[in-house]
């Protein structure tokens, strides 16, 4: 029997209407849906998103445990990979769902390495999704980058080189700012970029917060938040 | 009579299945569709994409001329803005369609400035789209950025600071490489990043080309092409 295919499907930033037509078709056709289990960054939120656009009844929902280690080697991911390979061996197609886009900051590509390590003949396809960055930019509404501008997408924890980046890039998106917010705010003040810095949390969803960084209070800080710095010198 | 609303809708990278559910709904509900006319970068290609996912019969198709000047001031964009404002004044909703995502490298945000300059009460909404970068990354299939990595999206014409960026960022996407390809290739060789550099043209479409940069020939070069540098040191 021909074995099934594995898809990585981007669920977008939260609004189920931001799923692509292709994501909906692929998810509808897969007999099994895999999501990381109980991760702090809420990948299982992805299941909530797709469940509002796709009928999940009758599909196997597979929660995968990822070890909390710095380097996810194929060995560390063997249990998760084997569960997926077991699922597809009878011809069932499986979709691994990620928030946003699978190519940006998802665990999928470590898992893919492990899958192909244990079964080099496995077919894998990536279905792109709307990223948190462009969703946030859409809500701010004055564009991320105009023609000719450079964009940096940087984990906010990378504070050591942030000044240099703010100097050289017209547009900077800082991801997951909640835990380093005061430090980042200080750097934005020091570099004179704070007037161009907008905090976006839960873009396009209930409880959305869009504020100038100066106006952000402690209660606004949330795991799913981004700071967009744009429009300097326009 | 209540005037209509203006939407900027991302048509994605080319595959009509990569339109979002929201884009399809908004485009379906708009009485008028606006596209830039005959631009070299083929924004009118956007009309071809949406026409394969949405029934355009009965909709007004408005081709807007953008002057080829460096700075698109509200004054320079007045004719285009006035055509849009004339269209929505009877309550017709209008969608301005862009390739990829409206927030990245589209002319929409200059136009938006002009629209709001001439009519500050106009309602404008941006509907994000799949970007060329994540579409290319999906086709390459080994991920753009893993957790903690930094991403730079840079017009390939920015060759002066490229070495510095290649040194500091784990992932770099170079946009519109066709006209500066030999120069960029040389920099990739000099920085030792060429083995991690993949050329992607027409991602996911007929005539798709995915090659290591070393293997690219003159005949492969095309306006809609990207170089992705990723996976260094993984």
Domain boundaries, chain B: 6-127, 132-229
Are B137 and A128 inside 8 Å of each other by CB?
yes
**What pLDDT score was predicted for residue A222?**
86
| Percent of chain B clearing pLDDT 90 (strictly above) | 75
- Condensed to tens digits (0 to 9), the pLDDT of residues A182-201 reads 999 999 999 999 999 999 99
Q: What residues of A are in contact with residue B101 (Cβ under 8 Å)? A: 134, 137-138
Contacts of B219 (CB under 8 A, 6+ apart): none
Q: Name the token pair of A43.
A: 């990948």
Q: What residues of B are in contact with residue A142 (Cβ under 8 Å)? A: 109, 112
Instruction: Find which of A134, A135, A162, A205 to mutate to test the B interface (most B CBs within 10 Å of its CB).
Output: A134
Q: Is the pLDDT reported for residue A75 higher than 90? A: no
**Residue A82 pLDDT class (50, 70, 90 cuts):** very high
* Fold category of B6-127 in CATH: Cobalt-precorrin-4 Transmethylase; domain 1 (3.40.1010)
- Please say whether the beta carbons of A188 and A232 come within 8 A: no
**What pLDDT score was predicted for residue A36?**
83
**What pLDDT score was predicted for residue B44?**
74
| Angle of CA points B8, B14, B17, to nearest 5° | 85
**What pLDDT score was predicted for residue B65?**
81
Q: From CA B55, how far away is CA B115, in angstroms rounded?
A: 27
**Residue B126 pLDDT class (50, 70, 90 cuts):** very high
Provide the shortest C-alpha distance from residue B1 to chain A (in Å): 26
- Please say whether the beta carbons of B19 and B12 come within 8 A: yes
Helices of type H across chain A: 21-29, 45-50, 78-88, 108-118, 132-140, 162-168, 181-190
- Condensed to tens digits (0 to 9), the pLDDT of residues B70-103 reads 667 778 899 999 999 999 999 999 999 999 999 9
Task: Determine the residue of chain A that is closest to B203 in CA distance.
Answer: A128
> Across the interface, which of A15, A104, A107 has its CB nearest the CB of B134?
A104
Q: What residues of B are in contact with residue A103 (Cβ under 8 Å)? A: 134, 137-138, 143-145
Q: What is the DSSP secondary-structure string of B95-117?
A: EEEESB-TTBT-THHHHHHHHHH
Q: Return the minimum-mean-pLDDT range out of A169-173, B142-146, B173-177.
A: B142-146
Put residue B106 in one of left, alpha, beta given phi > 0 → left and psi -120 to 50 → alpha.
Answer: beta
Q: Is the pLDDT reported for residue B233 higher than 70? A: no
With b for 16 or more beta-carbon neighbours within 10 A and e for fewer, the A54-92 pattern comes to beeeebeebebebeeeeebeeebbeebbebbbebbeeeb
Number of other CB atoms surrounding residue B209 within 10 Å:
17
**What pLDDT score was predicted for residue A231?**
81
Q: From CA B162, how far away is CA B12, in angstroms rounded?
A: 27
Q: Is the pLDDT reported for residue B211 higher than 70? A: yes
**Residue A221 pLDDT class (50, 70, 90 cuts):** very high
Q: From CA B188, how far away is CA B228, in angstroms rounded?
A: 11
Q: Is the pLDDT reported for residue B63 higher than 70? A: yes
Q: From CA A45, how far away is CA A62, in angstroms rounded?
A: 14
- Condensed to tens digits (0 to 9), the pLDDT of residues A42-51 reads 557 889 899 9
Backbone angles phi, psi at A174, to 5 degrees: -105, 120
Q: What is the CATH number of domain B132-229?
A: 3.30.950.10
* Residue of B179 and B71 predicted with greater confidence: B179
Q: Is the pLDDT reported for residue A40 higher than 70? A: no
- Condensed to tens digits (0 to 9), the pLDDT of residues B6-50 reads 999 999 999 999 999 999 999 999 999 999 876 555 557 889 899
**What pLDDT score was predicted for residue A38?**
61
- pTM for the full model? 0.94
Q: Return the minimum-mean-pLDDT range out of A13-17, A163-167, B40-44.
A: B40-44
Nearest to A171 by CA among A141, A136, A189, A197: A197
> Across the interface, which of B15, B19, B104 has its CB nearest the CB of A134?
B104
Q: What residues of B are in contact with residue A154 (Cβ under 8 Å)? A: 150-151
**What pLDDT score was predicted for residue A223?**
79
**What pLDDT score was predicted for residue B80?**
93
Average pLDDT over residues B172-188: 94
């Amino acid at each position: 029997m021909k074995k099934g295919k594995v898809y990585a499907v981007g669920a977008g930033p939260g609004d189920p209407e931001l799923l692509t037509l292709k994501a909906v078709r692929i998810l509808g056709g897969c007999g099994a849906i895999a999501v990381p289990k109980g991760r702090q960054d809420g990948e299982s939120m992805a299941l909530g998103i797709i469940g509002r656009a796709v009928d999940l009844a009758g599909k196997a929902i597979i929660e995968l445990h990822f070890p909390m280690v710095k380097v996810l080697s194929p060995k560390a991911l063997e249990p998760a990979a084997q569960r997926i390979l077991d699922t597809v061996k009878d011809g069932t197609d499986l979709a691994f769902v990620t928030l946003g886009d699978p190519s940006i900051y998802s665990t999928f590509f470590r898992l893919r390495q492990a899958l192909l390590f244990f079964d080099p003949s496995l077919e894998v396809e990536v279905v792109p999704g709307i990223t948190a960055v462009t969703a946030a930019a859409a809500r701010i509404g004055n564009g991320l980058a105009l023609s000719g501008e450079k964009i940096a997408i940087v984990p906010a924890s990378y504070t050591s080189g942030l000044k240099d980046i703010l100097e050289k890039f017209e547009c900077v998106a800082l991801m997951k700012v909640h835990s380093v917010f005061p430090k980042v705010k200080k750097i934005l003040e020091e570099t004179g970029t704070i007037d161009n810095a907008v905090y976006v949390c839960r873009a396009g969803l209930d409880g959305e917060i869009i504020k100038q960084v100066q106006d952000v209070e402690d209660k606004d800080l949330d795991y799913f938040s981004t700071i967009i710095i744009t429009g300097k010198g326009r």
